């Protein structure tokens, strides 16, 4: 997937970068982990493809000297630009591509919509994705080598907080199709990966949250959700 010679392909043509074939842009990906997936969904919505290199998190490849030189925090995703600039953090990478390929606008248009999307994206990061990550990292046997020490009590402490936030989200989705309003946005992408990450964390949406379930089914049906 991706183009050579420093080119990122988009739906309606190509965005060319100034350096040659030995300096191609590359995305370090991390498979099923939520933040790499968040970036992939965003790129799919934009119609952008670029070269990728997979980092095997289960094999702790993120801790190798080679990848640590790319991101000292040993996290994925990481984007290396043609000029050698490295951008880490999934939302920072998404903002970069929003600038070079504005449409469709996934961070919003106008002061109010941009602010509301930012508000909901942060709420979803802080009150849902982070909480689910704490549950998964502190309770799943596969995480013993990555989360040292695992603190099962912290996993349990986060479960009711997650459910409380899901109830808030369900109420807000009663009168709009998407998390931050009438337009699909990066906040929906964050919400989707967070809710999907509940499954390996052994959590589920309560049956009574019908608005949330409707939203989740609709955003899951978008082709980008398979990225």
pLDDT of the residue at 24: 84
The model's pLDDT over 198-209, given as tens digits with 9 standing for 90+, comes to: 999 999 999 999
Asked if pLDDT for residue 16 goes beyond 60, the answer is no
Asked if pLDDT for residue 11 goes beyond 70, the answer is no
* Whether residues 166 and 68 fall in one domain: no
Asked if pLDDT for residue 18 goes beyond 50, the answer is no
Tell me how far CA of residue 4 lies from CA of 29, 52, 71, 162, in angstroms: 18, 12, 23, 43
Model confidence at 49, pLDDT cuts 50, 70, 90, reads: very high
* Whether residues 21 and 95 fall in one domain: yes
What is the average pLDDT value for the chain, to the nearest integer?
91
* Whether residues 126 and 194 fall in one domain: yes
Question: What's the rounded Cα separation, in Å, for the pair 225 and 38?
Answer: 9
Asked if pLDDT for residue 108 goes beyond 50, the answer is yes
* Whether residues 60 and 131 fall in one domain: no
* Whether residues 88 and 155 fall in one domain: no
What domain count does the chain have? Answer: 2
pLDDT of the residue at 23: 58
Q: Give a yes or no: residue 1 inside a domain.
A: no
Q: The domain containing residue 92 runs over which residues?
A: 7-100
Q: Give a yes or no: residue 2 inside a domain.
A: no
pTM of this structure? 0.90
Q: Give a yes or no: residue 74 inside a domain.
A: yes
Q: How many CA atoms lie within 13 A of 196 on its CB side?
A: 20
């Amino acid at each position: 997937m991706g183009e050579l010679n420093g080119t990122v392909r988009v739906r309606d043509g190509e965005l060319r970068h100034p350096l040659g074939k030995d300096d191609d842009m590359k995305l370090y990906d991390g498979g099923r982990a939520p933040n790499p997936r968040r970036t992939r969904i965003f790129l799919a919505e934009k119609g952008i493809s670029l070269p990728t290199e997979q980092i095997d998190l289960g094999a702790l490849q993120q801790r190798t000297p080679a990848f640590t030189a790319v991101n000292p925090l040993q996290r994925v995703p990481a984007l290396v630009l043609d000029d050698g600039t490295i951008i880490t953090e999934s939302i920072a990478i998404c903002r970069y591509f929003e600038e070079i390929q504005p449409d469709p606008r996934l961070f919003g248009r106008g002061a109010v919509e941009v602010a509301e999307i930012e508000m909901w994206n942060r709420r979803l990061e802080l009150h849902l994705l982070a909480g689910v990550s704490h549950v998964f990292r502190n309770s799943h046997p596969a995480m013993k080598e990555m989360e040292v020490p695992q603190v099962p009590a912290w996993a349990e402490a986060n479960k009711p907080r997650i459910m409380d936030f899901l109830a808030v989200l369900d109420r807000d989705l009663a009168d709009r199709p998407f998390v931050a309003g009438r337009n699909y946005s990066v906040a929906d992408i964050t919400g989707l990966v967070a809710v999907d990450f509940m499954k390996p964390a052994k959590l589920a949406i309560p049956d009574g949250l019908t608005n949330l379930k409707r939203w989740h089914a609709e955003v899951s049906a978008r082709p980008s959700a398979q990225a």
